[in-house]
Amino acid sequence: MINFNTQLIADWPPEMLSVQRGLYYGDALFESIRVFEGQIPFMSGHWERLSKGLVAMGYVIPAHWSADFFAKEILRAACGNARVRLTIWRSPGGLYNPQDDTPQFLITAKELTSSMFDRYSEGLSIGFSEEVRLSVDSLSGFKTLNGARYVAAAKEACAKGWDDAIILNCREQVCEATSSNIFWMANHQVCTVPLSDGPVTGVLRDLLLRILPATGYPVLEKSVLPEELMEADEVFFTNAVRGIRRVAHCEGKVFMHDHSEHFNYLLATHINGILRDKR
């Protein structure tokens, strides 16, 4: 017998049984994907991270799954400009040790009014989370449903009047924001947190590691402590749905934003070039 919000039912409804492992164990991965004018310029990056995550978690990937397969499935649910969430979980069966490694998926889409990233020209107000720390292990780079720490950090940021929070890893190093990778400028050098320190392997992070050096801005991946980040000239967050968002101030420190504005221009130019080529 099952008690679902005071309603007694004899067995799991088929739809709920399908997602049982995701609900019970967080045994799932997801991608947040931006659709621009009916096109998905970052789809290959999303599939690369997702497929690596499926392998790392021991899923049996269907032979027909690919970046092209999911792009077509996404565009069945989303057209024009949209924010899409692709969630993949393991089929039901077993306890911690699963009985069926076959994946299932769900695609949800929310329409957006613009084909451009939000500029956040006023900048973000941020701080360092005191309540949570992130682990560093073989699954750190993937987006799983184990998001309790990110939720706690986001609620902490809201309670303190911040737009977002920087979360440290278990070694007290800067790791990432609640939904973004972190970049900063120090002495004219672009820097970002290395994957060995536990951040998600961001799709836009990877893109910037390619396009910034090509335009004269090599990126240094280096570990950073909170007090060192506070000495930076600029700080900005990156996310494949929201783009580049500059940080205006962090716990009293005011940051410049000259380079992040320029990088926003480089990113927009890159995306427009992809969209033009595919028309």
**Cα(220)–Cα(146) distance, rounded to whole angstroms?**
29
Enumerate residue ranges in the chain where pLDDT < 70: 119-121, 279
Q: Domain limits of the chain?
A: 2-111, 124-278
Number of Cβ within a 10 Å radius of residue 78: 22
Q: Please report the sign of the dihedral spanned by the C-alpha atoms of residue 142, residue 145, residue 148, residue 151.
A: positive
State the pLDDT at residue 165: 98
State the pLDDT at residue 116: 83
pLDDT in tens, 12-71: 888 889 999 999 999 999 999 999 999 999 999 999 999 999 999 999 999 999 999 999
The domain defined by 2-111 folds into D-amino Acid Aminotransferase; Chain A, domain 1 (3.30.470)
**Cα(9)–Cα(260) distance, rounded to whole angstroms?**
54
State the pLDDT at residue 119: 63
Q: Please report the sign of the dihedral spanned by the C-alpha atoms of residue 209, residue 210, residue 211, residue 213.
A: positive
CATH of 124-278, one of 3.20.10.10, 3.10.20.30, 3.40.50.10860, 3.40.50.1000: 3.20.10.10
Q: Is the Cβ–Cβ distance between 41 and 271 less than 8 Å? A: yes
